[in-house]
Structure 1
Amino acid sequence: MGLLTALEGGYGDRGDAVVMDGRSSSWEGLLGAAGAVAERAAGATALAVLARPTLETVAAVVGGLLAGVPVVPLPPDSGPKERAHILRDSGAALLAVGGEDADTDPTEAGAGIGLLPVDLAARAGAAAPAAAEPTPDTTAFVLYTSGTTGAPKGAVIPHAAVAADLDALADAWQWTAEDTLVHGLPLFHVHGLVLGVLGALRTGSRLVHTGRPTPGGYAGARGSLYFGVPTVWSRLAADHGAARELGAARLLVSGSAPLPVPVFEQLTALTGRAPIERYGMTESLITVSTRADGERRPGSVGLPLAGVRTRLVGEDGGAVPHDGESVGELQVAGETLFRGYLNRPDADAEAWTADGWFRTGDVAVIGPDGFHRIVGRASVDLIKSGGYRIGAGEVEAALRDHPAVADAAVVGAPDGDLGQVVVAYVMADGPVTGEQLTAFVAERLSVHKRPRRVVLVPELPRNAMGKVLKKQLLDLG
C-alpha cells in the first residue's frame, strides 16, 4: 500500500477514524469501499472524482491510488466548460460519483466516460483485493491549476512526491497518530485533499472534516491540529468564543494565501497559539513552512522543508542576496515536485530552468536566517513604478495595520509616465478616506510605495481557497 500507511493496520482502528460532515468510517470500512473502487478502476487511463467533501470522495480517491490509476479531482461547482476540459484533457475513462451524485445521468459525464458509483458498504469486512503496489514513480494525481492565464493545466504528481511531502510535513509539524486533524477545506486542492486527507491516512491521525469551515464547527471538533485558509482564520478571530475553544489545540496551520498580520496577532491572543504558516503550489506541493518547534513570525512562511532547496533569482538571471530586503523570483528543487504538465511540453519548457529548478512565478524575500516571506505572484504582485520594484504584499500589510481596514489588495495599474502605479482596493471597517490611507502608508513605507489611488470596495473577489483574484480588481474601477 505504501503511501497510505494508516490503512495497513499499524495504528489499530476506530469507528470514527475518518469523520466527514457528521458521517464516520473506520479505516477498515474505508479500505473496503476503496478496494471495491480499485477493482473496477484497475487498468483505467485515469479516474476522475467529483470531489465533494464526503466519505465517498475519500473512498474513491483511495481506490484510485490503490489501483495505481491517476486520480483527477473535479471541483463540484465547476461549470460545464471547465469540467469538460478537465475530463477531456486528463483522458479520464471513469468518473466516480457517490452520495447526492449517485443518480448522475451517464450522459453528463461525457462521451466515452463511464460512471463508477461509490458504495461505502461495498466489501464491508472483506480484505482489500490483492494488487501490485504502485511504484513511487506511478502517477498519483493529475491536479489542475486554477487557469488564471488560460485553460487549467494538469500537473502530474507521482506517489513519491506525495509521500516525501507528507513525511517532511509530519517532521516539521510533529504530526503523529496521536493527533486529531480538523479542517473544512475543499477536497479538489492540495491543501484539503493531499494534506487534509492523505496526510491523516499516512500519519495515522484521526480526521474530522467539518463540512463548511465555520467557527462553530471548528470549535466543536476538539482537534489538536487545524488547517485553514486566511478567510477561515479571520472569521474565527472575529468569534472570540470559538477562537478560545481552539486554545486546547496543539497547532493551527494557515495556508493557500498570506495570513494578514492582524489576524495572526488576534489568533495568538485569543488561543494562546501563534499560527503556523506555510507555502506551496499545486506543482510543488508544500515546500516551505514554519516548524512546530521553531519561531512563528508574522508574515513569514518559515524555512524550506527537509529535502527542499530554494533560491531567489533576479530579472538578469543572477542570484538575489538573502538580506531580508531584496526581492527575487522564488525557484525550488527537491523530491516534492511534479513531473510536468500533462501533454504540455510548451508549459514545461517555461516552468523549468536549464539546471532543473522549478520557476514558481512567485516573488519572495529571504532573510539572512533563511526565513522566507512571499511577496506574491510576479505577474500581479511585483509592481514596477518609476524604476522602483514594489512588492504588493508589503503595501497590503501596511494598509491592514490601519484600524479602519478589514482587508486590502494592491495591484499595479498601467501608467504612461511611471509604467505602473500602485492602486489599493480596500474593504473598510470604519470611516476612512483614500487620502488618509495613502498618508498612512507613506508614513510607514518609502514614499514611492504609497498608493496613488485607493478604491473602497464592499468585498474582494476570491477563489475557493480564499486567494484574491487580482486580475478582476482593475475591472472594478
Structure 2
Amino acid sequence: MDLLTALQGGYGDAADALRIDGRAISREQLLAAAGAVAARAAGAAALAVLARPTVETVVAVVGGLLAGVPVVPLAPDSGELERAHILRDSGAELLAGADGESAEFRCGLAALPVDLAAKADPAVPVPAPHGPAMLLYTSGTTGAPKGVMLSHRALLADLDALAAAWAWTAEDTLVHGLPLFHVHGLVLGVLGALRTGSRLVHTGRPTPAGYAAAGGTLYFGVPTVWSRVAADEACAQALAGARLLVSGSAPLPVPVFERLTALSGHRPIERYGMTETLITVSTRADGERRPGSVGLPVAGVRTRLCGEDGVSPVACDGESVGELQVSGPTLYDGYLGRPEADAQSRTADGWFRTGDVATIGPDGFHRIVGRASVDLIKSGGFRIGAGEVEAALRDHPAVADAAVVGAPDPDLGQAVVAFVVPEGPVTGDQLAAFVAQRLSVHKRPRRVVLVEELPRNAMGKVLKKRLLEG
C-alpha cells in the first residue's frame, strides 16, 4: 500500500531495519507478521493497540493498516476510565498488545496476539485513500477524549510534505524515543520511516545516552528531551554527526536551542502541528532556522490569523497576535460521533480553528504564542502572549524554565502570573523588572511564583490549567 512504501521492496532490507528498544526486525519479517495480524483483524470495525514501545506494537499497527481497519493507539498508562471510554467510543472489536491482561483490563474486547514468527500474505483489501487509517484520541482537557479520524490520504500528504521539508530519504537513520500513541512518535516516527525507507532506531526511553549511542542522521524529540540532551555536554556533542535535530509538540526554549547549537553544531528544526491537522508548519532543512519560530507552512497547507470573532483578519506583521487557522490535505475528517464538536472547530468556509494564538511575519515565518484558552492574556485592555513573556524570563541567567498564565484579577481582568523554575538566586521582583526592561511594561508579571518543577504531560507540554488550579 502507498503509505508503507518501504515494505514493498526496493530499499534493501537489513536485519535491523527497525530497532525498537533494543530488539531488531527486518522489513520482510515485519510485513509477514503484520500480514498475520491483518488476516485476523480484517472486517473489524476498529483495532485497538496497547501502544508500548515494542516491536509488537509496530507489527500490530501495520497489520491494522494493511487490513484497512482503523487503528486506535492506546496509551499504556491510560487510566481505567479513559481506557474504557476510548475502547467503547472507538467501536474497537479487538485489542492487540494486551497479552496476559485480564478481560476486565481489555473491557471485554477479544485479545489479538502478535506473533513475530508468523508469516502470512493475506488477501486484504486495498484501503481507500479517503478511508480512516487511524483514530487518535485527544487529551480530553475540555471533557472526555475525542476520536480524531485521520485518513490514509491525510497521512500520506503530511509525510510526503515533511520528507520534502526535511530532505528525509531512505539514506537516513531516524532516532527517537517518543511514545507510540501520538502523531509525533507513531505517525512521524514509525510510519514516516516506513514511507521514506529510512532505518528506524527507537530508543525505548528518550534518554541523552540512548540518543548519543544511536548513531542516527535524523533525530526527533520534544523540548524536555532536548533540554536533557543539552544539559549533558558529552551526549549533545555526540550528535555532531547527525544531519537534523527536530523538535516539536511544544515550543523549544531559546536557551536550549542555543546550547544544542553550540554543543552539536546543529540549529534544530522546529515544527508545529496538532492531532487534527498533523504537522502543518516547519522550518526547512535548507532554510533559515530561527529560534522561537516554527517556520513556514508545508506543501499544500495554508494558514491565516483571525481575531477573536474567528473571522476578522489579523495583520501578518510579526507582532499582531491572532488565532491560527489551517486549511489543506493534512486535516482530519472529523471527530468520531461528535458532529457538534467538529462544527465548532471549523469556520464557515471550512478552515480548522486550531485554538492556538500566533504571529506571522511579513516573510511568512510563524511564531506560536500558545493556546488561546490559557496563553492569550487579556490584561488591562492589552492582549499579551504568554509565550513572549516566557521567552523573556528564560533569557535570565538564573531561570531554568518558566510558564506564564493569566489569573483572574478584579481590576485588570487577568493578571500576568509567572511560575519560574530557578537555577540560581533570584527574586520575583527582580524577574518582573527584567521582563519590563525587555518587553513593554504592561507585559511584566504581576506575580512570580518560584517552583521546583512545572507539571507536564507525556509530550512535554506544560499543564497550565493545573498551575491555575493550584
Pairwise same-fold verdict (TM > 0.5):
yes
TM-score, reference length from structure 1:
0.98
Counting only pairs closer than 5 Å after superposition, residues 52-451 of structure 1 correspond to structure 2 as: 52-97=52-97, 101-111=98-108, 113-123=109-119, 128-316=121-309, 317-451=311-445
Q: Corresponding residue for 1:11?
A: 11
Q: Corresponding residue for 2:462?
A: 468
Which SS does the other structure have where 1:247 is aligned?
A: helix
Question: What amino acid maps onto 1:395 in structure 2?
Answer: V
Question: What amino acid maps onto 1:218 in structure 2?
Answer: Y
Query: In the alignment, is the contact (CA less than 8 A) between 1:408 and 1:426 conserved in 2?
Result: yes
Query: In the alignment, is the contact (CA less than 8 A) between 2:38 and 2:124 conserved in 1?
Result: no
Structure 1 residue 138: Cα displacement: 1.3
Aligned equivalents of 1:206, 1:368: Cα separation in 2: 38
TM-score, reference length from structure 2:
0.99
444, 452, 456: which one aligns with 2:450: 456
Structure 1 residue 158: Cα displacement: 0.3
Query: In the alignment, is the contact (CA less than 8 A) between 2:39 and 2:124 conserved in 1?
Result: no
Aligned equivalents of 2:114, 2:103: Cα separation in 1: 14
Q: Which 4+ residue blocks in structure 1 deviate beyond 6 angstroms?
A: none
Structure 1 residue 318: Cα displacement: 1.0
Structure 1 residue 140: Cα displacement: 0.5
Which SS does the other structure have where 2:377 is aligned?
A: strand
Q: Corresponding residue for 1:36?
A: 36
Aligned equivalents of 2:89, 2:45: Cα separation in 1: 12
Aligned equivalents of 2:204, 2:135: Cα separation in 1: 24
Aligned equivalents of 1:81, 1:122: Cα separation in 2: 34
Structure 1 residue 132: Cα displacement: 2.0
Query: In the alignment, is the contact (CA less than 8 A) between 1:2 and 1:133 conserved in 2?
Result: no
Structure 1 residue 296: Cα displacement: 0.1
Query: In the alignment, is the contact (CA less than 8 A) between 2:47 and 2:70 conserved in 1?
Result: yes
Deviations 1:203-254 (A, max 9, x none): 0000000011000000000000000000000000000000000010000000
Which SS does the other structure have where 1:3 is aligned?
A: helix
Which SS does the other structure have where 2:293 is aligned?
A: coil
Deviations 1:154-176 (A, max 9, x none): 00000000000000000000000
Which SS does the other structure have where 2:86 is aligned?
A: helix
Deviations 1:133-187 (A, max 9, x none): 1010110000000111111000000000000000000000000000000000000
Which SS does the other structure have where 1:474 is aligned?
A: helix
Question: What amino acid maps onto 2:114 in structure 1?
Answer: V
Question: What amino acid maps onto 1:104 in structure 2?
Answer: E
Which SS does the other structure have where 1:394 is aligned?
A: helix
Question: What amino acid maps onto 2:417 in structure 1?
Answer: V
Query: In the alignment, is the contact (CA less than 8 A) between 1:301 and 1:373 conserved in 2?
Result: yes
Which SS does the other structure have where 2:105 is aligned?
A: helix
Query: In the alignment, is the contact (CA less than 8 A) between 2:99 and 2:111 conserved in 1?
Result: no
Which SS does the other structure have where 1:369 is aligned?
A: coil
Aligned equivalents of 1:366, 1:241: Cα separation in 2: 36
Aligned equivalents of 2:354, 2:419: Cα separation in 1: 25
Structure 1 residue 82: Cα displacement: 0.3
Aligned equivalents of 1:138, 1:10: Cα separation in 2: 27
Query: In the alignment, is the contact (CA less than 8 A) between 1:364 and 1:375 conserved in 2?
Result: yes
Aligned equivalents of 2:117, 2:418: Cα separation in 1: 53
Aligned equivalents of 1:359, 1:249: Cα separation in 2: 36
Structure 1 residue 110: Cα displacement: 1.3
Aligned alpha-carbon RMSD (Å): 0.7
Structure 1 residue 102: Cα displacement: 2.0
Aligned equivalents of 2:105, 2:231: Cα separation in 1: 42
Query: In the alignment, is the contact (CA less than 8 A) between 2:42 and 2:124 conserved in 1?
Result: no
Deviations 1:54-105 (A, max 9, x none): 00000000000000000000000000000000001001000001xxx42122
Structure 1 residue 106: Cα displacement: 2.7
Aligned equivalents of 2:104, 2:349: Cα separation in 1: 46
Aligned equivalents of 1:321, 1:174: Cα separation in 2: 32
Aligned equivalents of 1:306, 1:2: Cα separation in 2: 19
Aligned equivalents of 1:326, 1:452: Cα separation in 2: 23
Aligned-pair identity (%): 78
Which SS does the other structure have where 1:58 is aligned?
A: helix
Aligned equivalents of 2:360, 2:468: Cα separation in 1: 30
Aligned equivalents of 1:338, 1:118: Cα separation in 2: 29
Aligned equivalents of 1:2, 1:278: Cα separation in 2: 25
Aligned equivalents of 1:114, 1:129: Cα separation in 2: 21
Gaps of at least 5 residues in structure 1 are none
Q: Corresponding residue for 1:24?
A: 24
Structure 1 residue 311: Cα displacement: 0.3
Which SS does the other structure have where 1:107 is aligned?
A: coil
Which SS does the other structure have where 1:177 is aligned?
A: coil
Which SS does the other structure have where 2:104 is aligned?
A: helix
Structure 1 residue 315: Cα displacement: 1.8
